[in-house]
Structure 1
Amino acid sequence: MRTRSALGIGMAIAMAASAPVTAHMASPNQELAGSGSTTRTDVVAAMHDEAYAYVTYRAYASEAAHTGLGTVAKLFRKTAHQDRYEHFAELAQLTGFVRSDVDNLTETIAGEHHEATVMYPSYAQQARRDGCTAAAELFTEISGDEARHAQWFTAARDALIDPDQEQDFPVGNRVPAVSIPAGPPHCTGQTLTNLKDAMHGEAFASLKYELYAKHAQRTGHPRLAQLFTNIGSTERNEHFAEQAALAGLVQSTKENLRTAMTGEQDGATTTYPEYRDRAAQRGDVGAARLFNELARDKAEHACRLTAALAEPFLDKHGNRHP
Structure 2
Amino acid sequence: MKRFGINKPTATLLSLLTLGFFTLLGGCSQNQPPTATVESESQNTETVSNQESATLKNLQAAYNGESNAHARYLAFSKKAEEEGYLQVATLFQAAADAEAIHAANHAAIIRKMGAKPEATIATPEVKSTLENLEEGISGESYERDTMYPEFIEQARKDGNQDAVVTFTYAVEAETEHAKYYAQAKDNLDDWRENTMTFYVCPECGYTTNDPNLAVCPECGTANNLFLSVS
TM-score normalised to structure 1 length:
0.42
Q: Deviations along 1:282-308, whole A, 9 cap, x unmatched?
A: 111121122122111111111111111
CA contact (8 A) 1:264 1:302 kept: yes
Pair 1:93-2:108 in alignment: yes
Give the aligned partner of residue 168 of structure 2: 292
CA contact (8 A) 1:60 1:76 kept: yes
Q: Deviations along 1:128-159, whole A, 9 cap, x unmatched?
A: xxxxxxxxxxxxxxxxxxxxxxxxxxxxxxxx
- What does residue range 199-214 of structure 1 map to in structure 2 within 5 Å? 201=120, 203=121
Change in Cα spacing, 1:251 to 1:97, as seen in structure 2 (3 Å) is farther
Q: Deviations along 1:243-269, whole A, 9 cap, x unmatched?
A: x4xxxx111100100000110011011
Give distance in 1, aligned partners of 2:172 and 2:65.
Answer: 16
- What does residue range 161-180 of structure 1 map to in structure 2 within 5 Å? none
Choose the corresponding residue for 1:257, options 107, 111, 133: 133
- What does residue range 1-322 of structure 1 map to in structure 2 within 5 Å? 34-84=50-100, 86-96=101-111, 201=120, 203=121, 240-241=122-123, 244=124, 249-313=125-189, 315=192
Change in Cα spacing, 1:38 to 1:98, as seen in structure 2 (3 Å) is closer
More helix per residue: 1 or 2? 1
CA contact (8 A) 1:92 1:98 kept: no
CA contact (8 A) 1:63 1:253 kept: yes
Which secondary structure does the structure 1 equivalent of 2:152 belong to?
Answer: helix
Q: Which runs of 5+ in 1 are unaligned?
A: 1-23, 25-30, 109-199, 204-239, 317-322
Give distance in 2, aligned partners of 1:293 and 1:57.
Answer: 19
Specify the code of the residue in structure 1 equivalent to 2:149: P
Q: Deviations along 1:216-240, whole A, 9 cap, x unmatched?
A: xxxxxxxxxxxxxxxxxxxxxxxx5
May I ask how many residue pairs the two structures share in their alignment? 146
Specify the code of the residue in structure 2 equivalent to 1:87: H
Specify the code of the residue in structure 2 equivalent to 1:267: E
Specify the code of the residue in structure 1 equivalent to 2:74: R
More strand per residue: 1 or 2? 2
Which secondary structure does the structure 2 equivalent of 1:95 belong to?
Answer: helix
TM-score normalised to structure 2 length:
0.58
Give distance in 1, aligned partners of 2:147 and 2:177.
Answer: 15
Q: Which runs of 5+ in 2 are unaligned?
A: 1-40, 42-47, 194-230
CA contact (8 A) 1:51 1:88 kept: yes
CA contact (8 A) 2:51 2:113 kept: no
Give distance in 2, aligned partners of 1:279 and 1:272.
Answer: 10
Percent identity, aligned pairs only, is 26
